[in-house]
Structure formats: structure tokens, C-alpha cells
Structure 1
Amino acid sequence: MSEHLFGGEQTPNQDSGEDVKKDFKGLLGSVRKFLSELLEIRTNTDAAATKESIIADIPFKGHTSWILICSIFIASIGLNANSTAVVIGAMLISPLMGPILGMGLSLAINDIDTLRRSLKNFTVMVVLSVITAFLFFYLFPLRDESSELLARTKPDIRDVLIAFFGGLSLVIARAKKGTIASVIFGVAIATALMPPLCTVGFGLAIGKLEYAWGAMYLFIINTMFIGLATFLVIKFLRFPMVRYANSQRRRLIARVASITGIAVMIPAGFTFYQVFQESLFKKQAQEFLKDTIEVYQFNESGRYVDNLTKIEFVDDGTSLIELVCMGDELIPENIINTWRVQKNEFSRLKDADFRVLQGGRDDSEEKFNYVSELYEKNKVELLNKDEQIRLLEEEVASLTKNAGKQIPFKNISDEAKANYENIVGLGFSYQIQTDFNKLDTVPVFEVKWKEGIQKNQKEADTKKMVAWLKLRLQDSTLVVKKVE
């Protein structure tokens, strides 16, 4: 009795509570096991084959050099022609990825010889690519600033993420037993190493160094983050380190590799931070514009030109938000001052310079460029509208012509009933006829006569009705048909 009262035996509630805990732990264990089997990649990794294949792609001579030159020409032509498909083809055949993977691998396994070869071949590839692109754009007569080219001059946070995750997927695919070729092709397209180098050559050829620097910055971002992803994956997969007979040399090389790896990771981290800050600035700037100028109502001929809006981020400097408005109507200064106050409510826009170019104070060249760009963008639509207008004009002309032939059918039918006692029905319609030289629209009357009247009488009445209708309607083309 006392044992029962003071908890000597477990109650049913205690039993059920422990069962729930056991079931929960079992569930967690099952989920953990499932996830480990789903995401585990070490067991299916072929370290030796992966290392061998990456090192085999590093050399740059003979066939590889000609493939690079051809891919540069293809990419340059595609960028010049604004053809995305051609640019994608150039990315697929470009051999630039080999030395970048070699650098990441060598840093991860302390292979100083492979690192040296990778750096040398990578430098030669980059220099040759830029020179080839420069010569193409310098000598080629057509050098339009296409959207494909300009898209490679201003990298943002998305380019960083694409390069990093593209590098991760590429190394994971290369490390798997039985390499996944589709992943390699996909990463070549996504990371787009070749187009930025072509854009560098384009910028140098036309003398716009800001284009060249922006494109080279994008290429450096891609290179650093692909190499960083390679380094991290190789470390995670625990590839065996290169061993040296001399212990002192082994320690020295390990330190050099570690320092080099850190030296790459620090600018990569700094680049990520800088690009991330720029993305946040532009996001707040877009929100600011959405709350101000985009909802402002012009009363007369004013217009906000969003295509000419400048949003420039300057790290540790004065960033810029510049609006352009066209037309004679000016935005009042008190409204602009109110916008400046609203701008300061955004944390990243407080120190940015805010300008509004409007009316006669804006740049006439920018106006011309905007109108030209707008016309080119809408050229096809304008041509389609011209064709529609032409068809509508032809239709209106046809309707106007037919309107002159409109038949007062009610009056005609009443007069026919009064003049012809044998008529019992009258129909009318327009019929299109041709002699294969021209088309014409002919008014056609269908007459139904009483049954039982003689054939001669019917023909005489029909002939008389044709003469009367032609005279009555002043139309010699009309036709009268008998309905039997």
C-alpha cells in the first residue's frame, strides 16, 4: 500500500511519457540517418581520378590554345551581334575553367608545383583572351554597345552567388565516380568566364576603360569564388595532402599554401561584402524612387524618364541618385526638398547625393539617346501598328464604297409589291464577283413569283424589274435572279 502511494510503481501517464520520448528519439535518429545517406558524398568520391582529371585540364598549349582563340572569336561575335545563343556556345568550348580548378585543388592539397603551373597557364590564357578580343573589336567595323556587352560591365551580388555555387556544383560533379557531364556544361554557361574577357577587349578597343574595368572585375569575382568553392570542397572531401620527403620543405610548402589560400579568401570575402552593400543600396534606392517620383503626377507635359535614372554606389564616398524629367513642366522645389527628407529616412541613402535634372536643364544628347533607344526598342511594334493602320484604312475605304451602294430595301420592296401583282417574295444581298482581273461587289436581288403564272409573263416581269431597279438605284451592275 505504501509503495503504491509514494510512487514505488510507475503510473500509466509516466509509461506513456517515456514511450513518447523513445518514439521521438527514434524519429530523430531516422531523419538523421536519412539526411546523412541523402547528402553524404565522401563514399562515392574518387579522389585520385578527380585530381588526375583536374591536373590534365591545366596545360595550355597546342589544341587548347587554338580552342581558346576560337572561343574568344565566337564570344566576341556573339556579343557584338547581341546573340545569347552564340555567347552560350562560346562558353561551352572555352578551356578557361581548367587552371582555376587547378589553383583551388593545389591550395587544398599543398601541391605547390600544380599551383605554379595553374597560375602560369591561367595568366597566359587571360592575356591571350584579352588581346584576341581587343584585336577583333579594334579591327571589326561594327562595334555597337549591345545589351549583351553592357550586361558584363556591372557585377552585383548575384554574380558572386552564381560563381560560388557554380564552383561548388562543378567540383562535386568532378569528384563523383563517373563525372556528371551535364553539370560541367551547365556551370560553364552559368559562370560565364569568357564574355567578361571579351568585354574587357571591347572596352579597351573603343577607349572606355570603365567598361574594361567593370568586366575585369566580374571576371575576377568569378575566378575567386570558383577557386574558393573548389578549395572548400576538396578540403571537405579530405583529399590526401601531397607529401614531401624533406620535412622542412613540407612545412614550408604547407605554410605557403595556407597563406595563399587565406590571401585569396580575404579579397573574396571583401568583394562579397562590397557587392552585397551595393545591392542593398540599390534596393533601397529603388524603394525610394517607387515612393516618390514614380507616384508623382505631372499636370501638363512633364515626364519622368526612368531609363536615364542613375543609381551609383561609391564605397566610402558620395553615392548618387540622379533623376531625369523631360518636358516643360518643372517639379516644384518644395516637392524635391520633401523627397530629400524622405531619402534620409533610408539608412543607406542618407549620405547619397540626390539630383533632379528637368526641363531645359537636362542634357540634349541624353534626350536624343533616349528617343533613339526607345525607337529601336519599339520598332517592330511600330511596324506592326503601321500594317494594322493600312489594313484598317483599306477596310474603311471598302465600307465607304459600299456605303454609297446602300439599298433602301424597305422602300424598294414596297414599290415592287405595288408595281408587280405576281410577286410574292423579294430578297437582297451583296455578292463578290471576279473576272480574274479585278474584284467587284455586286447587288443581287432574288425574286419569287406566284406559282401558276405563264413562263413568258414571268420573264417579261423579270426583264421589266431589272430595267426599273437599274434606273431606280442608278446602278447598272445589279443582278436579278428568279427563285424557282
Structure 2
Amino acid sequence: MSEDQKKDTETSPSQDSGDEVKKDFKGLLGSVRKFLSDLLEIRSNTDAAATKESIIADIPFKGHTSWILVCSIFIASVGLNANSTAVVIGAMLISPLMGPILGMGMSLAINDIDTLRRSLKNFAVMVVLSVITAFLFFYLFPLRDESSELLARTKPDIRDVLIAFFGGLALVIARAKKGTIASVIFGVAIATALMPPLCTVGFGLAIGKPWYAAGAMYLFTINTIFIGLATFLVIKFLRFPMVRYANSQRRRLIARLASITGILVMIPAGFTFYNVFQESLFMKQAQSFLQDTVEVYQFDGAGRYVDNLTKLEYVDDGTSMIEVVFMGDELVPENVVNTWRIQKNEYNRLKNAELHIIQGGKDDSEEKFNYVSELYEKNKAELLNKDEQIRMLEEELVSLTKNVGKQIPFQDISAEAKANYENIEALGFSYQVRTDFKKMDTIPVFEVDWKDEVSSGQKEADTKKMLAWLKLRLQDTTLVIKEVE
């Protein structure tokens, strides 16, 4: 046997072993692929006709649905006003807001222009009716506190985008399944939170703060766009049958219009996601910068950092701002401020942001100290009603404390007056509020009743003498004496 034949004979067992490993590996990959396919495959269990029918049935807003919407808006407004999360959740569970949004997403995916037109019309009715209802509630209701539940709907961030998109995905997948999963629909109704932003729009308009309304409408728009986008993508993935038109030219026109509309919807969705994502990154780096610099700075004297007055403003044109406020007599040295500015530039998203330091009687933009006062008053106006009640109680306590200091030991005074003035018949005492129209004061007043047989000259002399004695006795120069007629 030749040497080459010997080598072939020697290597053939290892080749067989290698082939077996490859076969086993391919078999494992095939098993994993089949497992994942069975786990994640949803097309086979989709009822396209029933899903389309149920979505179209939820689009109209009239009759019972309109009244349900009005009632849910009122409930949500009360919950937001009372800062009650449970009440807001209850309002979201009965809200019929999802119908037109799902209708828009589905109609774009299947080229159904008639359904799209109806969805847009009912969506506009839904928004207008909701905002008007919330506006009337907050305009007429006497308690209009700026609760944390309301303020949370005025500043959307990247998390709201993700919640809306994945909530929309879950909702459409649940609606497409044979035998709809009701619990998923309820969960999405809570998570995507379409109703509270519309209530906050009405609240902002009712109290004359349009920036609240603008922020809340921005959040509502984000939720609407990404729920619609999720619906569009799922319907396309599930390959719902396209709407066919008898006229081939009309069919092509409708398909083009639907495609263009879908693209136009996706453009602002992508733009919104990008902007909110950039703002979230800016806010994260700004918070990290403050934690590493401003918040760890130690004052030697009476200065302090007022963290609740910190203002972070993101503007996509590069004019963002970080504004921090220090109170007290001690100022942060200029070299420390310059060091903070250098450290700020180490964060790539903060390089073009302006750092404003407001402290004591000056700030680095040379504005007056009254700016700090205005800023404080603005933030104080956003406190809850309980803070106003505490302030009133504190003022009342101060007033009561002052009056306690003026309390007259009347029993002792009357006994001493009887011992010193034999002509006295009776003695009275009261406080009298008096004003000279410049200021108001509380005056202690004594009323003296002299015996009838005492002459007027004696009464006058005794009254003058008693007045001097009482002023000295009580250490109060404001008190007066009146004779009983």
C-alpha cells in the first residue's frame, strides 16, 4: 500500500466525525429556528376580516360613544385635578379614543381611502370634543391646582415615544388575534395615556398658560403618530388584503395616495423621535454635569444651591441653556465658575449650551437681583394648594403671637384700680381696631364708670391719673380710657 493510501485511510475517521458534528449543528440550528418560529409566528392565528371589521366599527364618534367620551374626559379631569392616579386610570379604561387612530393606521396599510377619510373626520371630532369638555371643566371648577399629574403631561420625553410605539404594537397584535385579548387592550389604554394629555390641553387654556397646552398637545401628537405607525407596520407585516377598486386607474391613484400619506406620517414620526431622543440625551448629560460639579460644591458660609430652581432648556439649534441658582451672602468664586464651564465642554451635547449662574445680588449675565425674586415667585405659584394653606396658617400664628403679647391681666388690674380709686363704680376692657388709613393697629380700651356723686372735675382728674398709671403699669403708650356717659 502506498504512503498516500495510508494517509487517506488514516484521515477518513476524523472526516466522518467532522461531518457528523456539522450535521448535529445544522440539526440544532434547525430545531432552534423551528422553536422560534412556533414561538413568535402570528400570521397563522390572525383573522384579518374580523380585525378589519372590528377596527372600522370603533371609528365613529356619535351617540353613545360621544357621551362615553365626555364622561371619561370629566373623570380624567377630576382625577388630574385631585392628583389621583387611580381615577385617571379608571377614565382611561372607559375612553373610546383608540378607534379613529387604529382606523387611520389600518386604512393607510390597505389603501382604504374611504376609511381613512372617516377616521380623520372622527379623529378631529374626538380631539375638539375632548379639549372643549376639559376646558369647560377647569374653567368653571373653582379648584384648579397645578398637580403633579397635570404637569407630568406637559413635557414629553423619549420614554413617551417608546410607550406609544410598543403600546400600539401590542394593541394591533391583540386585535388581530383570533379571539381578542381584552386584557391587552385595557393595558394599552392605560399605558399609551391618550386622554390625560387632552385634559391637560384644556387645563392650560382654562388657566391662561398656553405653554402647558402646547406641551400636552405635543405629547398627544406623539402618542397618536406612533400608535398609528405601529398599526401600519403590523397590518403590513400580517399581509392584510389590499382594498381593490374596479377602476384600475383609481386603484393605482389610491395606492399612491396611501403610500404618500404613509410616508408623510412616518417623516414627522422619525423627526419627532429624533428630537425627543436628542433632548433626552441632553437632559441626561446636563443632570450628570450638575451632579459632578454644582451639587458637590461646598460653601464655607451662608450660601446654598437651590436645586428646585434649576432650569434646563434644550433647543435643537444649539442655543440650549443650563441655569442654576445660588442663594445667600456667599458667592461662588469666578475661577470655580470658569472651571465648571470647562468641565461642561467635556460633555459632547453640552458644548454649545450656555451656563448661567445666578447668585446673591449678581449673576454672570449682569441682570438685577430682582430676576431671582421673579423666578422664585414664578416657581412658588406652581406649588400645591396646601403650601398656600400653610402660609396662611403661619401668618395667623404670627398674628396670634403678637396678640398674646398684648394680653391684659384684667383681673389684677381691676383689683388694683378698685384699691387705688375709691370713686370707681365699674371698669370695662376691650380691644379696638383703629386705622388712620395709612396703617392699622389694635388699641386696648378701658371704660370707666365713676360714681354719680363725684364731680366732673374730680372725674377728669382721676381719669388722667388712671391713664398715666395704666400706661406705666402695662408698658403700653397706645391704650386709652373712656368715661361711661
TM-score by length of 1: 0.76
Q: Counterparts of 1:370 and 1:62 in 2: how far apart (Å)?
A: 43
Cα distance between partner residues in 2 of 1:65 and 1:33: 47
CA deviation profile, 1:373-416 (whole Å, cap 9, x unmatched): 59968x99xxxxxxxxxxxxxxxxxxxxxxxxxxxxxxxxxxxx
2:372 is matched with which residue?
363
Matches within 5 A, 1:72-91: 72-91=73-92
The letter of the residue matching 1:162 is I
Matched, 1:311 2:320: no
Q: Which moved more, 1:330-339 or 1:368-377?
A: 368-377
Q: Deviations over 1:423-475 (max 9, x none)?
A: xxxxxxxxxxxxxxxxxxxxxxxxxxxxxxxxxxxxxxxxxxxxxxxxxxxxx
Match of 2:93 in 1: 92
Residue matched to 1:268: 269
SS in 2 for 1:155: coil
Q: Which residue of 2 aligns with 1:20?
A: 21
- Structure 2 counterpart of 1:176: 177
The CA deviation at 1:365 is 4.5
Tell me what 2:300 maps to.
Answer: 299
CA distance in 1, matches of 2:380, 2:209: 23
Q: Given the superposition, is the C-alpha separation of residues 374 and 299 from structure 1 closer, same or farther in structure 2, using an over 3 Å criterion?
A: farther
CA deviation after TM superposition for structure 1 residue 335, in Å: 0.3
Deviation per CA, 1:198-231, whole angstroms, max 9, x where unpaired? 1111111111111010000000000000000000
Please state whether the residue corresponding to 1:26 is helix, strand or coil. Answer: helix
The aligned counterpart of 1:429 is none
Post-superposition offset of 1:300: 1.5
1:26 to partner: Cα distance: 0.9
Taking a change above 3 Å as real, the CA distance of residues 368 and 130 of structure 1, as seen in their structure-2 partners, is closer
TM-score w.r.t. the length of structure 2 is 0.76
Q: Give the counterpart letter for 1:226 in structure 2.
A: I
Aligned-pair CA distance for 1:371: 7.3
RMSD over aligned CA atoms reads 2.0
SS of aligned partner of 1:44: coil
Structure-to-structure mapping, 1:88-167, within 5 angstroms:
88-167=89-168
Whole-angstrom distance in 1 between the partners of 2:123 and 2:65:
12
The CA deviation at 1:172 is 0.3
AA aligned to 1:255 is R
Q: 1:363 corresponds to which letter in structure 2?
A: V
1:15-52 residue CA offsets vs partner (Å, 9 max, x unmatched): 22222111111111110010000000000000011000
For 2:188 and 2:33, the matched residues in 1 are separated by: 30
Secondary structure of the 1:322 match is: strand
Mean CA deviation greater in 300-309 or 160-169:
300-309
Farther-moved stretch of structure 1 (160-169 vs 281-290): 281-290
For 1:63, the equivalent position in structure 2 comes to 64
After superposition, the C-alpha distances for 1:171-222 in whole angstroms (9 at most, x for unaligned) are 0000001100000000000000000001111111111111010000000000
Kindly indicate whether the alpha-carbon contact (under 8 Å) linking 2:282 and 2:349 is maintained by their aligned counterparts in 1.
yes
Paired residue for 1:209?
210
Unaligned runs of 5+ in 1: 381-484
Distance 1:376 1:278 in 2: 33
- The Cα shift of 1:65 comes to 0.4
Superimposed CA distance per residue, residues 75-125 of structure 1 (whole angstroms, 9 cap, x where no aligned partner): 111111111111111111111100000000100000011000000000001
Inter-partner Cα distance in structure 1 for 2:384 and 2:22:
68
Q: What SS does the aligned partner of 1:179 have?
A: coil
Please list the CA deviations of residues 125-149 of structure 1 after superposition, one character each: whole Å capped at 9, or x if unmatched. Answer: 1011111111111111111111111
Give yes or no for contact 2:146–2:384 (8 Å, CA) kept in 1. Answer: no
Given that residues 198 and 217 in structure 2 are in contact (C-alpha distance below 8 angstroms), is that contact kept between their aligned partners in structure 1?
yes
Number of equivalences: 381
Q: 1:302 to 1:369 in 2, by over 3 A?
A: farther
Conserved? CA contact 2:153–2:219, under 8 Å: yes
Gaps of 5+ in 2: 362-368, 391-485
| Counterpart for residue 283 of structure 2 | 282
Distance 1:131 1:104 in 2: 26
Counterparts of 2:165 and 2:379 in 1: how far apart (Å)?
A: 36
The CA distance in 1 between the partners of 2:124 and 2:377, in whole Å, is 42
Question: Is the CA contact 2:305–2:325 (under 8 Å) kept in the aligned structure 1?
Answer: yes
